[in-house]
Amino acid sequence: MKRLKATFILASVLLLAAGCGSGAKQTATDAGAAGAASAQANSNPTKPKKVIVGTGTQFKNICFIDDKGNLTGYDVELIREIDKRLPEYEFEFKTMDFANLLLSLETSKIDLIAHQMEVNEERKAKFLFNDEAYNIFPNKVVVHKDRNDIQSIDDLKGKKVIVGATSNASVLLQDYNKTHNNAIEIVYTGSGGTNDAIAQLKSGRVDATIGTQFAVDQRNRDVDAQQKTVGPAISNSKVYFILRKDETGLKTKVDETLRAIKQDGTLAKLSTQWLGADYTVSQ
C-alpha cells in the first residue's frame, strides 16, 4: 500500500522534532522540486507518478500537527483518501507557511495545493482549479464575544479588520473597499498567522476578522479565543484544489475520485469528523 510522506519546513521542522518516534508514516523527507520528482517517476513506467501536495500546519482541523507530531486534518485526510483510490499516483506532502503556497506552485516546487482554497480572478488567471468542490466555506464577520455593535460587514466601516495577506478573506474585503471608498482598514496578520489574528482580536487592537463557525468553535475550545460570528454569511464560496495549468490529466483524475468519495458518503464523514458538521453542502 502506498504511504504519503510529509516534508515539513520552517516552524514545522521544530514541531516534528518534538514528535519523533511517531512512526515512519510521517517521516520528514526532502521532497525536492516537483518537476524533478515527476521526471524521476516517469522514468519508470511501473512506478506511480509522484504528486507533491503543498499544505500547512497552522490551520487546526484542516491541516495541522497533532499531539503525536503527525500531520492530519480534513484536507490532509482527504488527500490520503484520494491517494488510496489512485494507484497510478503517489501523493506526498510538503508543508509550508500559507503565504508561500501559491509561489511554490507557480515555481513547480509543488504540484497541488490542499488548504481550503477558494476561487478568485487573480488565482484563476495563473492556476488551474479542479471542478468538483470538496467544501463550502461560509465566511462571516467574527468579533470578540462581548462586542455587540458589529452585526454585518457594513458595520465594519471605519474599523480595523485582520486577515491573512493572501487569503480569500482579504480579497473579499478589498473588493468591498473598491465600492465603499476604502471604508474598512485592512490589517494583515504577521508571521503568527491565525494566532496573530486571535491575539489582536482578543486584545482589542483590531475590531474583527473574517472566518467560519467551525473555525471559531475550534479556537474558542482550544485557546479561549473569545470569538463569535455575527450576521449572515458574506460569502459562501466553494473550496477546491489548485494545480498548475498544465496538470489537466491530474485534475481529471482528482475530480473523478472526488465524485466517488462524495457519492459513497466518505466526504461527508470526513467533514463531520474534522469540522463538526457536513460542510460539503450549503449551510
pTM of the model: 0.68
For the chain, give the mean pLDDT: 87
The domain 6-135+239-275: what is its CATH number?
A: 3.40.190.10
Instruction: Read off the pLDDT band of 1 (50, 70, 90).
Output: low
Asked if pLDDT for residue 10 goes beyond 50, the answer is no
pLDDT in tens, 72-108: 999 999 999 999 999 999 999 999 999 899 999 999 9
Fold match flag (6-135+239-275 vs 137-236): yes
List of residues 6+ apart from 183 with CB closer than 8 A: 156, 157, 158, 176, 177
Mean pLDDT of 110-121: 94
Query: What span, in angstroms and rounded, lies between the C-alpha atoms of 65 and 269?
Result: 21
Contacts of 211 (CB under 8 A, 6+ apart): 139, 140, 142, 169, 227, 229
Chain-centroid distance, C-alpha 94: 13
Domain ranges of the chain: 6-135+239-275, 137-236
At 113 the pLDDT is 98
Residue of higher predicted confidence among 7 and 105: 105
Does domain 137-236 sit in CATH 3.40.190.10? yes
Confidence of residue 64 (pLDDT cuts 50, 70, 90): very high
Given a contact cutoff of 8 angstroms between Cβ atoms, the answer to whether 150 and 201 are in contact is: no
> Quick one: pLDDT at residue 236?
85
d(CA 246, CA 238) in angstroms, rounded, equals 22
**CA 92 to CA 51: how far, in whole Å?**
6
* Cα dihedral sign, 162-54-109-11: positive
